[in-house]
Structure 1
């Protein structure tokens, strides 16, 4: 009976220990998200993408009904 209780307590404590991210993991995740956002910003504001978006919007606004 006592042994089962100890095993259940150990399993519960171990599960809680791995329940969340550590501060270093948050920092790395934030850094990766910022790097991805910077790359995406450069791609979207680049000449080819900008021209394609302008072309699509221009065609949509000049459509005949």
Structure 2
């Protein structure tokens, strides 16, 4: 997801490893020297994709009740 600046309080720092959501099983993949985490998530979490509403829903889920 390309970003021209911080959104929802995010920083522009480079992440240590990328995390992608999937409806499948959680797994770690090595791509060269990078590690990618493919993490299981409920179907509603990735439903809104890369749109701002999707980022908001995932941020609220991460924060919790």
Structure with greater proportional strand content: 2
Q: Which has the higher contact order (CA 8 A, sep 6+)?
A: 2
Q: Which has the larger radius of gyration?
A: 1
Write 1 or 2 for the structure with the bigger share of helix: 1
* TM-score normalised per structure 2: 0.24
| TM-score normalised per structure 1 | 0.24
